[in-house]
Amino acid sequence: MDLTEIQNYAIQARMAFIVGAGTFDRVFAGIRFAEIDGYLLYVYARDESSAAEIEDNFALPIAIVASQIVGREIDVVVVLPKVLQ
């Protein structure tokens, strides 16, 4: 299931609130919460280092926020760099 733009922006807004503006601008700039496949959420970050940092440090809060917004359980967040999109 592809996420709508509204769902994408809603997840971005909540994550910005959680991590703060400085961290969001540094790590999450250019992020796109793209689709859900079963219990997986696919996310595209601007580059490999951002993707690794997001997956290592923020996967759990992203899963919680996304679950609330889409109304489905998200167990795993897969973050890929946009070059692999």
Q: What is the mean pLDDT of residues 23-30?
A: 94
Confidence grade of residue 82 (pLDDT, cut at 50, 70, 90) = confident
User: Is the model's pTM score more than 0.85?
Assistant: yes
DSSP 8-state symbol, 2:
B
Q: What is the mean pLDDT of residues 30-50?
A: 95
The pLDDT > 70 percentage for the chain reads 98
Which contacts of 8-15 are long-range, i.e. CB under 8 A and separated by 24 or more positions? Answer: 8/32, 8/33, 8/34, 10/69, 11/62, 11/65, 11/66, 11/69, 14/65, 14/69, 15/58, 15/61, 15/62, 15/65
What's the topology of domain 5-84?
A: GMP Synthetase; Chain A, domain 3 (3.30.300)
Paired tokens of 65: 């926020």
